[in-house]
Amino acid sequence: MKIKNVTGKVETLVDSLRDLSPTRIRSSSSDELIASEKDDEISSWIALHPSALDMFNKIMSDAEGKQIIMFLDYDGTLSRITEDHDKAYITDEMRDVVKEVAIHFKTAIISGRSTDKVQSFVKLAGIHYAGSHGMDIKGPTNTDEVFLFIFLSNQEVMFQPASDYLPMIDEVVNVLKEKTKCISGATVENNKFCLSVHFRRVDEKGWAALAEQVRLVLIDYPKLRLTHGKKVLELRPSIKWDKGKALEFLLNSLGVLAESEDVLPVYIGDDRTDEDAFKVH
């Protein structure tokens, strides 16, 4: 791939990143017009996909007599989005809510973070964890079932479809740390089976330079693919696996089928990667 083609892709990526940044100040009337058209598109989408909070009574009615299984995202759902991704702590109140939910319903947390990181934040056993966008799935052992909400480290690995990529991910993390160290505010996070490049603290003028470095790395590692969310670029294995696939795997592991009419999976998330789970019926 030629560098000029990469540059074109970088410009497209930066435009996309701006779209995901609601606090950005629009600088011209043309920006306002484009924003208005996008607002109309969003309104049309919402009309077809109403807020679950607005439809709560109907959801409860539809859930009557069914087995509810809870799936939760972490960042932005159980914790606030923070400037420092290492400080996205869950509050004690939210932890108590998750604990209470898990008493009544089988519960799993599906996150782009590494499973170990999410476990260290949540500190609850008795639930399933699927980190790295579902590529690192762990479940409670029998011991966890007995001591339901004492955090234990002996959860069993259930599924790791990208285990062959571990050496590559470790290598790319080091490469990107070196390439982005001159971009103020950029940080690289190793999420075990994928990695995140955070730019929440990067000035917008530096976004293009950061995106270009990421794109250039992808040229050298074609087995990885790029996705992005709120102020984060993510590189992950080019395998057919995402949060939706993880949800289906967990449903089957829990002894139910995703398409069963007797089961109501409930997924709560706030970012683009959660849409893969929303699409599962």
Q: Tokens for 86?
A: 């290492």
pLDDT tens digits, residue range 260-272?
A: 788 889 999 998 8
Residue 272 zone, left/alpha/beta (φ > 0; ψ -120 to 50; rest): alpha
Distance CA 250, CA 70 (A): 11
pLDDT tens digits, residue range 197-228?
A: 999 999 999 999 999 999 999 999 999 999 98
| DSSP state letter for 75 | B
Beta strands in the chain, from DSSP E residues, in sequence order: 67-72, 106-110, 128-131, 136-139, 156-159, 187-190, 195-198, 224-229, 232-237, 263-268
Predicted TM-score of the model (pTM) = 0.82
pLDDT tens digits, residue range 152-170?
A: 455 788 999 999 999 999 9
